[in-house]
Structure 1
């Protein structure tokens, strides 16, 4: 007889996460094919709009139900100036649990770290980490070297600042880049600090397959960080040269989302 093991986190019920109204944008396919839903999680400063621009509609056109959540304090969700990574992960778990079947979690940038934390609490069908910023002192050091003027304010409670050159390739028209950067907000200061200095996430529930992808030309996440992230999950990163950090908004946005969906379709038990 197998023994069921339940992990008790006393501090989670003793100090529950404050409920908020969360923005969720969804696009569903015209024909339901029995495929798992995808829940897209944006990085810090981004909202669900970052996926609604291109990836949600494209995902639905390929037969997957597509949903994007704005973490508390982002997009159209309720303000949350004191939010933590735990609160962000709670948002993801709550939205995923409300979907009709087990979802594939897709996190971008710091949203990939949020997904990694959520995986310890939600039995995802699979996970995809896009240009992942997985936190810790190595991330802090890399951020200081690559973007000192944008990183230092976050250490003292200010917002992380990223430039057009860091987020997008030169292929993206300037008008589009300005439009996207104008919509960027900021994460809560506690969550930013935890991103830079926090501990690794707990192991994922059920050991779901995890795909890591990004660009070797990303000016936020170095290629070495993509390799480390993929090794953590027993794989190698899928790379898209010539793209910026915001793969879902860049000029060649179709390439990474098609690769994600192809991975889900072609691997038995992952998306078919």
Structure 2
């Protein structure tokens, strides 16, 4: 198994390759707001490669190691980035989107085919206006901190507040602090688009789809996960004792195992 960062023109694609993935579809991970492909590289890419899947994570434009400006980037631009990454792979991948990346995947599926998709703590089709209001009323201090992150960058971002929003209480302080140093500003246009209906029109409800929530999620609560599941005509699955940043939080192994078991059940002929 080897980890590489592929030199796509201007677009970072991080890959973990198993010894033999001939019988399994590749998997492409799409990150959420304020992060990049690095959030998948620590745990999920090697975990999926150990299960026999070629695992890839793309950094959307302006994120991680990818080129491009965030000033004018919208959700459809991120969809185009995912399309670019898909076209660089040998076979069509199963798409896995987290949070904002879940919206990117939902819009992608309205335009392009995929063998299957998994939506992890995804913002629901109706957008995040209701989520934002609920979050701001429940934890105004954390909400203000995210506003500071967006306006002046990660410098003043408090690891303690980041923990309240994204991680469980038992995640070691050193890891929370390390992740807090890596977060970045997000596209104002993309965030604005997410405040209204994020996905309009029908999504492919006949597509094999896993809708996965974290039951300790402070940002995307259970009702929002269930709304996404209804759009795809499926049931939501929840992983207990995991917070929003489910690929980095304590308990990430259970999330990765749930995803891998679902992948194992996909009919290769689909």
Length-normalised TM-score, structure 1? 0.84
What does residue 144 of structure 1 align with?
136
Q: Distance in 1 between matches of 2:131 and 2:67?
A: 28
Are the counterparts in 1 of residues 11 and 67 from structure 2 also a CA contact under 8 Å?
A: yes
Equivalent position of 2:3 in the other structure: none
Distance apart, 1:33 and its partner CA: 3.3
Aligned residue runs from structure 1 range 115-134, under 5 A: 115-134=105-124
Residue 65 of structure 1 deviates from its aligned partner by 0.4
What SS does the corresponding residue of 2:251 show, helix, strand or coil? coil
Aligned to 1:73: 62
- Distance change (3 Å), C-alpha of 1:206 and 1:232: closer
- In structure 1, distance between residues paired with 2:238 and 2:194: 24
Q: Please give the alpha-carbon distance, in whole angstroms, between the structure 2 residues aligned to 1:151 and 1:26.
A: 34
**Is the Cα–Cα contact under 8 Å of residues 129 and 210 in structure 1 kept in the other structure?**
yes
Aligned residues: 252
1:10 equivalent in structure 2:
none
- C-alpha displacement at 1:145, in angstroms? 2.9
User: Following the alignment from structure 1 to structure 2, what is the Cα–Cα distance between the partners of residues 215 and 174?
Assistant: 21
Query: Which consecutive aligned stretches of 4+ in structure 1 deviate over 6 angstroms post-superposition?
Result: 159-162
Q: Which residue of 2 aligns with 1:106?
A: 96
Q: Distance in 1 between matches of 2:187 and 2:199?
A: 19
Structure 2 residue matching 1:226: 3-state secondary structure? helix
Matching of residue 166 in structure 1 with residue 157 in structure 2: no
**2:192 paired residue number:** 193
Structure 1's unaligned 5+ residue stretches are 1-18
Once the two structures are TM-superposed, the CA of residue 222 in structure 1 deviates from its matched residue by: 0.9
| TM-score for the superposition, normalised by structure 2 | 0.85
Preserved CA contact (<8 Å) 1:140 1:197: no
Quote the offset at 1:38 in angstroms.
0.4
